[in-house]
Amino acid sequence: MRSFLILLLLVLVCGVWAGEFQPLDEDDILQLLDMLAEADLDSTDLAFEKDWDLSTRFKLDSQMRVLLNPWEGLNELAHWRRMLGTQCMCQIASSCMAEAWQIEEEEIVHQDFARMLENAGRSPKKLAKSWSRILDEHLHHWRQAFGSFSPAQIDSLRSFWYQLCSEGEDREKYKDYIAARGLPYLEDVGLEYFAEFFDQVDFALLRQTALSYQKACSALEKAASKLKFPSQKPYIHKSPHGLMIFGTMGDDIYLPHKKERVCLIMDPSGNDQYRLPLGASWENPFFYLWDGDGNDVYSHDQPGGFFTAELGCCISVDAKGRDLYQGDDFSFAAYLGFALHRDLEGDDIYRCGMFSQGAALFGVAILNDEAGNDRYDATSLSQGLGTTRGIGLLMDKAGDDVYYLGGKYYHAPLMPLDHRTLGQGMGFGFRPDYAGGIGILYDGDGNDRYLGGVYAQGVGYWYAMGMLIDEAGNDVYNAVYYPQGSGIHLACGMLYDASGDDAYYSRNGPGQGAAHDWGVGMLIDGDGNDAYSIHGGQGLGLSNSVAIFVDRSGDDRYERKEEQNYGSGARSRGAGSIGLFLDAGGTDSYPDSLMANDKTWQKGTYGIGRDIDLRPSLKTSTEELAESAELPSADDSIDSLFAAAAEWEVGSAIQRVRTARNYLAERSEEAIPWVLEHKLNTKSGLEYRALEALLKDAPQMAAGLYPYINEADSLAAKNAISLLAGEADSLLVPYIQELLAKGKYIPTCLSVLGVYPNEESIATLSQWLLDPVERYQFIAARSLASMQTSETDRILREKLVDPTFLLKCVLRFLPEEGENER
């Protein structure tokens, strides 16, 4: 039976999520199965019943699959890695809507929007009219999806979002905000009552209309390349759907319009300022912005008006430039709609409040930054947050990025002095009534920093699923509580880091592949020399949960001596939990002798840990870079070879530097005259190392150095002296004595004499111990100490009667008397 179960699971591994996107391979799976067998368990034992609140509404099929069978978490990670890493944005949006709204992902036949727009030619006015006709049709379908609601019910639905998802500390703020918008303030946010409302929305029609609008926006973006934009001031076209604005090539400032909202902005270039509401709402459910170039500033100080889809579709593109985005709460967010913002190039800064930067409720919100070293700041419930029937995605493809959450809301009473952050790949449900959605933070490449508080970095809470996926880079993860692959209260949390030398830290657990209260938690690190620190985690199952921690390779450091770390399962409610810890490669360090390389251990009820070297030959990313680095050619010019030889001989440059130095030695007849003429006077330490290497490989270079000792160029002279001393050439000593007598290059000469432990050198250095200049005293003492003879030790002890601190150090580090007998 066990053999059959193993075969069945391996078929799943090889058949469903095999290939480059698999988080684990067959060897990893076999180890996990063998670990389970150590505790008389098999693969099916992870799939025990975990759906214990049958009254909770709006559970997602994919989250339930992972919850009920944690092996499916590997499948889910592979699915999202494949989709986000390879598919176009139209495909991503389509899949997200089908998943969020739990409908079939049917293929939609779109109209030929490019043809509908081509008659506009270069005229913004004609293009605006054509766009208005396209919006007419989309508006009809959008309203039809909400056709069963009265105007009053629509207003209640709009208030529901802000009241349900805002924090209690902001109650007065949202009372005023809702009143200012003419919406009703709900004295009771009745989740059961509003559940009936959401059941009446035609989500299939919403998806069809949103995807059609996305296609239309793509056609509009292409049409922009043909437009003749205004030269003096922006052109404004009034339409039934809102104002349509076409900017200039210059630096435009866009301000709010008192009576009408804007539904379209197209700006070709310039360092522009956007100081108006940007987004879609029930009154104007379609918004599109395209900015072609420039370092732009986008700012709005009110909630829900900054790249927000509130019962609408908000799509925007910034093609180029270093941009600043400053918004309030509910920015880059979606509710009963679709929000998509794409920034294609530039080092950008995003600063927002809560429920922002890819956050959704009954909708899909995608914030996609394609390139640049970006900074994301938000307070809470942000950076890839999916609440009920929502998918929130923050997707950054490249760059060294910083993700920060916190600064406002405290998590009292559990952690009253720390921030509650709830984000960075967070699925969040409203306990006990509504299940959560799917929140994903996806980072494609770069050395990134993830800074969070309580609940952060691949976490699920209450029938929800959160994922943080980082494909490459040396990353830092820092949090406070419930972080880094944690499933809390019937939820699933996963963190997958494919490669890089990473550092994971949390002051408290459970985390780093942990789960609590019928949850599933998972942390998988694919490659790199990593460091882990947490107080309770790394394969910790609590309160009838399943937790899996796998580090697939690298020389890793595990820092905390904590009973519940490294594979632990706790007993609760008359049953147990399963906690699996697997380090599958490298030479690792542990704080406790129970855990060690090439060892298996057990903790708690069903906690199993194992360290095994499955991949002894696996190279680090740096080693792979070193092998793939472009090497010099034997026939390169001497100056090119020397430049390569003078690079830093570490990491990815090792092979390149050594190859260049070998070629210089082989061509020493050319190389020596060139370096003596052009590089002997260098100030660069790296170039000096290249000179040292050439002298070692081509000793005949020494003869060419002596003439430079008395050169007028002091740098060349000092380098020549140091190079010759490095080879301990005894012919150098008379030159040193002569230079000291002339008072030239004293520090260099005193340092060099330490290489020659003869009577003449010792006598000279002994005299300099009495010099009034402390620098010279210290260098002379250091040179004598380096000779390591009983005579030099005695001289130092006798002559250094009232030593300064530096000289005290020299004396302190001398061996005990008699140890240097020669």
pLDDT tens per residue across span 449-495: 999 999 999 999 999 999 999 999 999 999 999 999 999 999 999 99
Q: Is 381 inside a domain boundary?
A: no
Q: What is the mean pLDDT of residues 180-188?
A: 96
pLDDT tens per residue across span 296-320: 999 999 999 999 999 999 999 999 9
739 shares a domain with 683: no
Please tell me the distance from the alpha carbon of residue 118 to that of residue 618, in angstroms, as a whole number. 55
3-class state of residue 153 by DSSP = helix
744 shares a domain with 718: no
Say if residue 2's pLDDT is above 80.
no
Say if residue 380's pLDDT is above 70.
yes
Q: Which of 727, 753, 782 is the last residue of a domain?
A: 727
Write down the pLDDT at residue 711: 80
Write down the pLDDT at residue 5: 54
Say if residue 820's pLDDT is above 80.
no
808 shares a domain with 782: yes
Two tokens at 473?
């880079």
3-class state of residue 396 by DSSP = strand
Write down the pLDDT at residue 585: 95
822 shares a domain with 798: yes
Task: Judge whether 183 and 151 are in contact, CB under 8 Å.
Answer: no
761 shares a domain with 715: no
pLDDT tens per residue across span 682-738: 999 999 999 999 999 999 999 999 999 988 878 999 999 999 988 877 788 899 999
Q: Is 667 inside a domain boundary?
A: yes
Q: Reduce the secondary structure of 306-331 to three states and give it as a string.
A: EEEEECCEEEEEECCCCCEEECCCCE
Q: Is 642 inside a domain boundary?
A: yes
Hey, what amino acid is at 173? K
The residues pairing with 372 across neighbouring beta strands, listed in sequence order, are none
819 shares a domain with 782: yes
pLDDT bin (cut points 50, 70, 90) of residue 650 is confident
Domains contained in the chain, number: 2
Say if residue 14's pLDDT is above 70.
no
689 shares a domain with 665: yes
Q: Which of 727, 747, 772 is the last residue of a domain?
A: 727
The residues pairing with 467 across neighbouring beta strands, listed in sequence order, are 440, 494
Write down the pLDDT at residue 818: 63
Mean pLDDT is lowest, of 145-159, 271-285, 701-715, for 701-715
Q: Which of 706, 727, 748 is the last residue of a domain?
A: 727
Please tell me the distance from the alpha carbon of residue 87 to that of residue 37, in angstroms, as a whole number. 39
pLDDT bin (cut points 50, 70, 90) of residue 17 is very low
Please tell me the distance from the alpha carbon of residue 609 to that of residue 729, in angstroms, as a whole number. 58
764 shares a domain with 721: no
Say if residue 94's pLDDT is above 90.
yes
750 shares a domain with 711: no
Q: Strands, DSSP E only, in 578-645? A: 578-583, 599-603, 606-611
Q: What's the mean pLDDT when you consider all of the chain?
A: 94
Q: What is the layout of strands, in order, in the sheet containing 557-558?
A: 253-254, 273-274, 297-299, 324-326, 349-351, 375-378, 402-405, 449-451, 476-479, 503-506, 531-533, 557-558
636 shares a domain with 693: yes
719 shares a domain with 650: yes
Say if residue 571's pLDDT is above 90.
yes
Q: Is 79 inside a domain boundary?
A: no
Say if residue 16's pLDDT is above 90.
no
Write down the pLDDT at residue 651: 78
Cis ω on the peptide bond leading into residue 510 (within 30° of 0)?
Answer: yes
Q: Is 798 inside a domain boundary?
A: yes
Residue 653's domain spans which residues? 629-727
Write down the pLDDT at residue 464: 99
Q: Is 804 inside a domain boundary?
A: yes
Q: Is 372 inside a domain boundary?
A: no
Please tell me the distance from the alpha carbon of residue 127 to that of residue 227, in angstroms, as a whole number. 9
Q: Distance of CA 409 to CAs 170, 351, 577, Å?
A: 10, 16, 32
pLDDT tens per residue across span 22-66: 999 999 999 999 999 999 999 999 999 999 999 999 999 999 999
Q: Is 258 inside a domain boundary?
A: no
718 shares a domain with 634: yes
Cis ω on the peptide bond leading into residue 230 (within 30° of 0)?
Answer: no
